[in-house]
Amino acid sequence: MITMGIDMGYENIKVVILKDGAVAGRAQARSGGVKRLRHAEEAMRAALKDAGLTEAQVEKRFATGKGKFDIESIVDDVLTEPVTAVKAAEFLCPGATTVADIGADETVVMLLGGNGRVLQLVTNEKCAAGVGSFLRNMARRLELNLEEMSELPPRKAGDPSVSDGCIVFGELDALNLLNNGAPPEEVAKAVTASAVIRATVSIRDNTLENLSRLVIFGGVTKNKAFMRGVRERLGVEPVVPEDAEYAGALGAALFAAEWGARHFANDEKTSA
């Protein structure tokens, strides 16, 4: 069976195509704006090309992500983001105990109880939202590319810091440091440390915390400096699957495949 999952993220659209339970193709495009539907269709065509398939061969298409309702007209169903993240974690990392999906606009953490059960779900506070967007915007302000942000050296005692409770205050603190002559690299380290605290506070907020097999999804996993800070602050080595930013789209495609399998089995019973 061939299915497609589309994750309509805050900054990026991700598409995954599954063929007989394996990833056959994937692609992504920028999100947002009035052309979001067109961008989604472009990403879908790119994923089909990557898979060597045609649109007619796709049997089911499910969507997730903040912009999922913008493409309801071209998919079979829409799913909430935590549900697809858990499904992807089960597929990629059997035995996962906690899943943290750190996106551009929010951090969502789920404590798992096995067999797809979610025992607890925690999201960041509003003023601490947008870890991914915060890092990207600050990189632009500091005139550093994402690779340079990723390769930052560890912080040292006495290094400057910025607010870790509110993005607006964090940005103001960072600009203050720059205006007072702090080198961009030092400000970038402070910004990254702030983002680490925001994300890990959400992870530690699980009342029934179990980080024995913590799985982290999201584009920020590609930022080595950020992930180093997460490991140090949590004291655990999280599991970060390859292409972790595609987790939502993968989960949606997996649900589409399950739906198709159930209906195929029901059709067989009816015909019998």
CB contact at 8 A, 196 and 79: no
**Helix extents (H) in the chain:** 36-51, 81-92, 131-141, 146-150, 167-179, 184-204, 224-234, 247-271
Stretch 116-135: mean pLDDT? 81
Provide the b/e sequence for 83-122 (b: ≥16 CB within 10 Å). Answer: bbbbbbbbbbbeebbbbbbbbbebbbbbbbeeeeeeebeb
pLDDT of residue 3: 97
Model pLDDT for residues 149-172, shown as the tens digit of each residue: 999 999 998 899 998 877 888 889
How many CB atoms are closer than 10 A to CB 174? 25
The fold for domain 94-240 equals Nucleotidyltransferase; domain 5 (3.30.420)
Q: Are 24 and 18 in contact (CB under 8 A)?
A: yes
CB–CB of 24/16 below 8 Å? no
The architecture that CATH gives domain 1-81+241-272 is 2-Layer Sandwich (3.30)
Bridge partners of 18, per DSSP, are 3, 23
118: three-class secondary structure by DSSP: strand
Distance (Å, whole) CA 27 – CA 43: 6
Write down the pTM of the prediction: 0.89
Q: Does pLDDT of 127 surpass 70?
A: no
Helix (H) / strand (E) element for 111: namely: strand 107-112
Q: What percent of the chain has pLDDT over 90?
A: 72
Pick from 215, 217, 216, 268: which is nearest to 245 by CA? 217
| Ramachandran area for residue 40 (φ above 0: left; ψ -120 to 50: alpha; else beta) | alpha
In CATH terms, are 1-81+241-272 and 94-240 the same topology? yes
* pLDDT top residue among 259 and 25: 25
| Domain segments of the chain as ranges | 1-81+241-272, 94-240
**What's the alpha-carbon Rg for the chain, to the nearest Å?**
20
One-letter amino acid of 13: I
Question: Which residues are paired to 19 by β-bridges?
Answer: 2, 22
pLDDT for 206 beyond 80 = no
pLDDT tens for 227-255 read 999 999 999 999 999 989 999 999 999 99
User: What does the pLDDT average to over 72-101?
Assistant: 95
pLDDT of residue 41: 96
Q: What is the average pLDDT value for the chain, to the nearest integer?
A: 90
pLDDT at position 32, please? 74
Residue 129: which pLDDT band, with cuts at 50, 70 and 90? low
